[in-house]
C-alpha cells in the first residue's frame, strides 16, 4: 500500500529544511500515531513525480516524533511525502496537519541569511544552501566548489570526456582542443588530415615551395616524396644548390 502527499511551492526554490506536524490525538495515542507514519520518505522534485526528483530523507529505524524536522537541501518546486507498506504491515497514514518548508527564495545564493553568492563556477549558479558547495560544475571544472580543472586527460561537462589519443600531451579542460599529432588536425578529436601544402603537429607548418609536386609534402614530416625542383635539394627541398663554374686557362 502506498500513501503520498505533495505541495507545489509555485516555483523552484533553494530548500533548506522541512518540518512536519503530524496529527496528535493526545498522549494516549502518541505511540499509535508515530507508528502510523514510520518509514516515510521525503523527496524534492521539479515535478509532482517523486521518481523525477531526489530523496532527501528516509525515516528509520526509530519512530518519528509527531513534531518532525529535518535538513533537506536542494532546488525544487515540489516537496513530496511518501510511504509504502507491505501487505502484512500496519497501514500508513498521511494525517499531516502542517508542513513548513524553509529555504532561500532567490537563485544563486546560500547561507543562513541567503546573502552569500554561489560560486560562479557552479552549473546554473546553483549551490548547496548551507555550505555553498556546487550541485554540479560548469564545463571543464570539478571539486566541491568547482575550482579545479578536470584531471589530466579529461575535459567537458562533468569532466567525463576523454582527450583524444591523437593529442600531443594533454587537451584543453573546457572543450578538448589540443595540439594534434603530426599530420592531423580538427577539434576536439584530431580526425582530419592536413590540407595540401601543410604538415606537422596541428598541420601548422607549410611545405617547401620547392617540392616537385605542386609544393605538396609528406603531412607528417614535411619531406618531398617526388624530389625537388631544380636548384634545390634536401629531404624538404629547402637547401639551395650551389652552382660551381670551372674556369680553365689555355
Residue 51 sits in a domain whose CATH number is 2.60.120.260
What does the block give as the cell for 143? 571539486
Beta carbons of 148 and 158 less than 8 angstroms apart: no
Q: What is the pLDDT of residues 78-109, one digit of tens each?
A: 999 999 887 777 777 789 999 999 999 888 99
Confidence of residue 244 (pLDDT cuts 50, 70, 90): low
Residue 125 forms part of a structural domain: no
Counting the structural domains of the chain, the total is: 2
Residue 21 forms part of a structural domain: yes
Residue 227 forms part of a structural domain: yes
Residue 182 forms part of a structural domain: no
- Across the chain, mean pLDDT equals 90
Percent of the chain with pLDDT over 70: 96
* pLDDT for the residue 243: 61
User: d(Cα 59, Cα 85) in Å, to the nearest integer?
Assistant: 13
Q: Which of 75, 105, 135 is the last residue of a domain?
A: 105
Beta bridge partners of 8: 78
How much is the average pLDDT of 229-246? 81
Residue 156 forms part of a structural domain: no
* pLDDT for the residue 9: 94
Residue 219 forms part of a structural domain: yes
Q: Which of 86, 105, 124 is the last residue of a domain?
A: 105
pTM: 0.66
The rounded radius of gyration (Å) of the Cα atoms in the chain is 34
Residue 169 forms part of a structural domain: no
Residue 57 forms part of a structural domain: yes
- 127 burial type by CB count under 10 A (0-12 exposed, 13-18 middle, 19+ buried): buried
User: d(Cα 97, Cα 74) in Å, to the nearest integer?
Assistant: 24
* pLDDT for the residue 107: 83
Q: Which domain holds residue 9?
A: 2-105
Q: Which of 88, 105, 122 is the last residue of a domain?
A: 105
Higher pLDDT, 180 or 94: 180
* pLDDT for the residue 245: 54
Q: What is the pLDDT of residues 46-75, one digit of tens each?
A: 999 999 999 999 998 889 999 999 999 999
* pLDDT for the residue 91: 73
User: d(Cα 43, Cα 79) in Å, to the nearest integer?
Assistant: 6
Confidence of residue 181 (pLDDT cuts 50, 70, 90): very high
Amino acid at each position: 500500500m502506498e500513501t503520498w502527499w505533495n505541495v507545489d511551492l509555485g516555483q523552484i526554490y533553494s530548500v533548506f529544511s522541512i518540518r512536519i506536524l503530524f496529527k496528535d490525538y493526545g498522549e494516549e495515542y502518541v505511540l499509535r500515531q508515530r507508528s502510523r507514519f514510520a518509514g516515510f520518505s521525503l523527496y524534492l522534485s521539479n515535478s509532482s513525480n517523486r521518481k523525477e526528483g531526489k530523496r532527501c530523507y528516509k525515516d528509520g529505524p526509530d519512530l518519528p516524533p509527531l513534531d518532525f524536522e529535518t535538513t533537506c537541501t536542494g532546488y525544487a518546486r515540489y516537496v513530496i511525502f511518501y510511504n509504502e507498506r507491505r501487505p502484512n504491515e500496519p497501514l500508513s497514514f498521511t494525517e499531516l496537519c502542517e508542513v513548513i518548508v524553509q529555504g532561500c527564495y532567490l537563485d544563486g545564493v546560500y547561507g543562513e541569511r541567503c546573502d552569500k553568492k554561489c560560486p560562479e563556477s557552479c552549473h546554473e549558479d546553483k549551490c548547496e544552501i548551507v555550505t555553498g558547495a556546487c550541485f554540479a560544475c560548469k564545463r571543464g571544472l570539478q571539486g566541491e566548489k568547482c575550482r579545479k580543472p578536470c584531471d589530466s586527460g579529461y575535459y567537458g561537462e562533468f569532466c567525463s570526456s576523454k582527450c583524444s589519443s591523437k593529442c600531443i600531451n594533454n587537451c584543453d579542460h573546457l572543450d578538448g582542443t589540443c595540439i594534434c599529432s603530426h599530420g592531423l588536425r580538427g577539434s576536439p578529436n584530431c580526425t582530419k588530415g592536413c590540407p595540401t601544402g601543410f604538415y606537422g603537429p596541428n598541420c601548422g607548418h607549410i611545405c617547401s615551395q620547392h617540392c616537385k609536386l605542386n609544393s605538396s609534402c609528406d603531412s607528417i614530416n614535411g619531406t618531398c616524396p617526388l624530389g625537388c625542383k631544380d636548384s634545390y635539394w634536401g629531404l624538404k627541398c629547402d637547401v639551395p644548390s650551389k652552382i660551381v663554374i670551372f674556369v680553365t686557362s689555355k
